[in-house]
Amino acid sequence: MSAVADRHVVADAEAKSASAKPSLFSRALPAWAQALPLALVFLVFFLVPLALTVMVSFWDYTEYSLVPAFTLRSYVEMFEGCYDKLPDLCVTLKTYLSTLKFCISVWLISLGVGFFIAYFLAFHVRTTTMQVALFLVCTVPFWTSNVIRTISWIPLLGRNGLVNSTLVKAGIINTPIEWLIFSDFSVIVALVHLYTLFMIVPIFNSMMRIDRALLEAARDSGASGWQTIWNVVIPLSKPGIVIGSIFVITIVMGDFVTVGVMGGQQIASVGKVINTQMGALQFPPAAANSVILLVAVLFIIAALTKLVDIRKEL
Amino acid sequence: MSGSSLELAALTKAYGSTVAVDAIDLKVPANTYCCLLGPSGCGKTSTLRLVAGHETATAGDIIIGPTNVTELPPAQRGTAMMFQSYALFPHLTSADNVAFSLKVRGVPKAERRASAMDMLGLVHMEPYAERLPAQLSGGQQQRVALARALITRPQILLLDEPLSALDPFLRIKVRAELKRLQKELGISFLHVTHSQDEAMALADLVVLMNGGRIEQAGTPREVFNAPRTAFVAQFMGGHNVIATGSGPIAVRADRVKLRRAGEPGRLSGTVRGIEYQGTHLQVTLASPDQSDLTALMNEAEFDAVPLKPGETLAVDWSEQDIHRLNA
């Protein structure tokens, strides 16, 4: 009897949900409409250009024209001789290695600096007003254009710049240090100066979610300051650390302006190569290079997201 | 675990010009369940945090056993704190949470794991050793927090409103367990609460605070039966504070007698409300020149002379039920 009644109820419910379908659709419509503008922007300004880049990377080219085709020429030329020359590195691999070297240095330094600035802002600055004020100070590097900012390094780090002249006058060195500017050092300094903020913001955000009672609980259990940072703060800031790392790594991997100017146009980077090829109107190789760079960056991001479930944190 | 006594001497905590704890003196003998009781902002939590070492005293001393711990860091005081929100580390399992203090002391993994399992056993939480705090209920989280606090073998356990996050049914069950645990371990518990029921049920020593000072300290029966001030009588409940020519007095609500108007009585009152509370009835009366009076009657008494709201009655009490209060 009750089974029959149940079946009846189920059938009833099915009939109801069938008749409810149009209303469900009309309820979903506003939601789709709300998502539409961003989806369109995403499509037109991201997916379409990306598809075009991939397409062009397979085209053929001459000195003065692009030839629509499907050829692997650009990819083959990019890695030409890479295998034969081993253990010596071909130009492409050298460029990638150099870019990766900058990327890792800048990532490590900005992670170290960014973590402790975020830690200071989150746990030592007590008032929100002061936090906001100090955050604004962190954004100072972005208050001026890239060109002016980069040029401003010259009076500071140049051969006769502030640092060198101070060191000479103080008698610490006799002749100015040459590697302060137009060197790997200056590229790293400029990149760290710029992108540490991208590390600070997500890490700070993660840290602000940490219940202050946890730090007291750690202290109550006898943990020292460093033990608290290592055992409590770092594990709970991991999502921010990963998000910040993704920001910094993707930006630095593709950078060519800072590397160009601060490296005195003498240092190779993947972005710089793409930029040069574009300047020479060699679009297919530039596109192929971009695709390879994109794949490399995606691998790095995939590895990072293995460390933490970012969706859970957003 | 061995118990130690706790002594506070002229302990003061000021935040700028606000004085949270105002030169309090208190002695808690070893193996005592002591409840710090009072309304919000009375300084009870600040006092607890001072004892724990999470606040620094502005003046005065904290002495645990033979040691003056006023300047010592929390972990060297022989105290352990159980936080109001439990403050379990969300990224660590129950067992790792409990073992945390051993880990930071460099105890080898196998050893600290065994100790943690012992502690979890004490609070009947071994089956949940591998769960993260988010996978536990409030009551289970509290047990883990308790185990984490006890693993350091404290002489005094500090509990900050430990029952406030639990539902009323669980609260009564857990408070019985806390009392049992305190007796079993033979250490002192210092328990902050704003509920006088909780304090009366648990405490060997009730310390009622108000405005950063200790209003009265004593056994629950002393404090309830002999409130020193009107504040104590009102906060502990069950009392009527009545202004008389010779100063305020307290009369327990269950000792108040209600008679028909015209019969002998010390005051007259108009019935404003009658609440049925199961074991008894609570009658609220408005009386001229007095704050509202409360009388508790058992069902039989009430049925003998049913009352109606609006009725004016004579309110009486016998001489021996008068308790004089300090003005």
- Which chain B residues have a beta carbon less than 8 Å from that of A217? 81, 83, 87-89, 148
pLDDT averaged over every residue in chain B: 91
User: pLDDT band at residue A6, thresholds of 50, 70 and 90?
Assistant: very low
Of A1-10, A174-183, A185-194, B228-237, the range with the lowest mean pLDDT is: A1-10
Residue A202 lies in a domain: yes
Mean pLDDT of B22-50: 94
In tens, the pLDDT along A294-308 reads 999 999 889 888 877
By the 8 A CB rule, do B155 and B1 touch? yes
In tens, the pLDDT along B147-182 reads 999 998 999 999 999 998 888 888 999 999 999 999
d(CA B104, CA A220): 11
Q: Is B85 within 8 Å of chain A by CB?
A: yes
- Of A228, A205, A203, A229, whose CA–CA distance to A217 is shortest? A228
Hey, what are A64's tokens?
């003065």
Q: Is B89 within 8 Å of chain A by CB?
A: yes
Residue A269 lies in a domain: yes
- Which chain A residues have a beta carbon less than 8 Å from that of B88? 217
In tens, the pLDDT along A81-111 reads 777 777 777 888 888 888 999 999 999 999 9
User: pLDDT band at residue A74, thresholds of 50, 70 and 90?
Assistant: confident
Contact flag A220-B89 (C-beta cutoff 8 Å): no
Kindly tell me if the per-residue pLDDT of A198 is higher than 80: yes
Q: Is the peptide bond before A37 cis (omega within 30 degrees of 0)?
A: no
Going through chain B in order, the beta strands assigned E by DSSP cover 6-15, 18-28, 33-37, 59-64, 67-68, 79-82, 156-160, 188-193, 205-210, 213-218, 239-244, 247-252, 257-260, 267-276, 280-286, 293-298, 312-316, 323-324
d(CA A204, CA A210): 10
User: pLDDT band at residue B303, thresholds of 50, 70 and 90?
Assistant: confident
Residue B132 gets which letter from DSSP? -
The residue whose two tokens read 């309090």 is: B24
- Give the pLDDT of residue A310: 65
- Give the pLDDT of residue A281: 84
- Of B93, B46, B87, B47, whose CA–CA distance to A228 is shortest? B87
Find, in chain A, the residue whose alpha carbon is nearest to that of B76: A222
Residue A90 gets which letter from DSSP? P
What's the CATH number where A108 sits?
A: 1.10.3720.10
Q: How many domains does chain A contain in total?
A: 1
d(CA B201, CA A159): 79
Contacts of residue B246, Cβ cutoff 8 Å, sequence gap at least 6? B324
- Phi and psi of A159, rounded to 5°? -55, -40
d(CA A271, CA A82): 20
Other beta carbons within 10 angstroms of residue A251's beta carbon come to 17
- Phi and psi of B74, rounded to 5°? -50, -45
Contacts of residue A305, Cβ cutoff 8 Å, sequence gap at least 6? A242, A246
The amino acid present at B286, given as its one-letter code, is A
Residue B292 gets which letter from DSSP? -
By the 8 A CB rule, do B121 and B44 touch? no
Residues of chain A with a CB closer than 8 angstroms to some CB in chain B: 211, 213-214, 216-224, 227, 231-232, 235-236
- Give the pLDDT of residue A91: 83
Of A1-10, B56-65, B103-112, B316-325, the range with the lowest mean pLDDT is: A1-10
User: pLDDT band at residue A314, thresholds of 50, 70 and 90?
Assistant: low
- Which chain A residues have a beta carbon less than 8 Å from that of B54? 216, 219-220
Residue B194: beta bridge partners? none
Axis crossing angle, helix A234-254 with helix A270-279, rounded to the nearest 10:
30
By the 8 A CB rule, do B188 and B31 touch? yes
Kindly tell me if the per-residue pLDDT of A177 is higher than 90: no
Q: CA of A268: how far to CAs of A191, B40, B299, in Å?
A: 15, 66, 94
Q: Among partner residues A213, A216, A222, which is closest to B104 by beta-carbon distance?
A: A222
Per-residue burial over A75-91, b if 16 or more Cβ lie within 10 Å, else e, is beebeeeeeeeeeeebe
Contact flag A217-B83 (C-beta cutoff 8 Å): yes
Residue A54 lies in a domain: no
Residue A164 lies in a domain: yes
Kindly tell me if the per-residue pLDDT of B91 is higher than 90: yes
- Which chain B residues have a beta carbon less than 8 Å from that of A308? none
Of A238-247, B124-133, B226-235, B288-297, the range with the lowest mean pLDDT is: B288-297
- Give the pLDDT of residue A22: 60
By the 8 A CB rule, do B313 and B268 touch? yes
- Of B86, B196, B184, B188, whose CA–CA distance to B136 is shortest? B86
* Interstrand relation of B267-276 and B312-316 (parallel, antiparallel or unpaired): antiparallel
Mean pLDDT of B198-214: 94
- Give the pLDDT of residue B279: 86
Other beta carbons within 10 angstroms of residue A283's beta carbon come to 17
User: pLDDT band at residue B327, thresholds of 50, 70 and 90?
Assistant: low
Q: What is the largest CA-CA distance in chain B?
A: 81
Residue A183 lies in a domain: yes
Q: What residues 143-182 of chain B have any CB closer than 8 A to a CB of chain A?
A: 148-149, 152
Q: Among partner residues A214, A222, A235, which is closest to B101 by beta-carbon distance?
A: A222
Hey, what are A172's tokens?
């610490």
Residue B258: beta bridge partners? B315
Kindly tell me if the per-residue pLDDT of A3 is higher than 70: no
DSSP alpha helices (H): ranges in chain A?
A: 2-42, 48-57, 73-78, 91-119, 128-138, 146-151, 153-157, 162-169, 184-208, 212-220, 225-228, 234-254, 257-262, 270-279, 283-307, 310-313
In tens, the pLDDT along A244-259 reads 999 999 999 988 888 8
Contact flag B75-A221 (C-beta cutoff 8 Å): yes
- Which chain B residues have a beta carbon less than 8 Å from that of A214? 87, 89-90
- Give the pLDDT of residue A13: 47
Residue A51 lies in a domain: no
Would you say the ipTM is above 0.90?
no
d(CA A197, CA A217): 30
Where in the sequence is the domain holding A258, given as residue range(s)? 85-313
- Give the pLDDT of residue B181: 92
pLDDT averaged over every residue in chain A: 85
Kindly tell me if the per-residue pLDDT of B229 is higher than 80: yes
The residue whose two tokens read 């008068």 is: B322
Residue A138 lies in a domain: yes
Residue A106 lies in a domain: yes
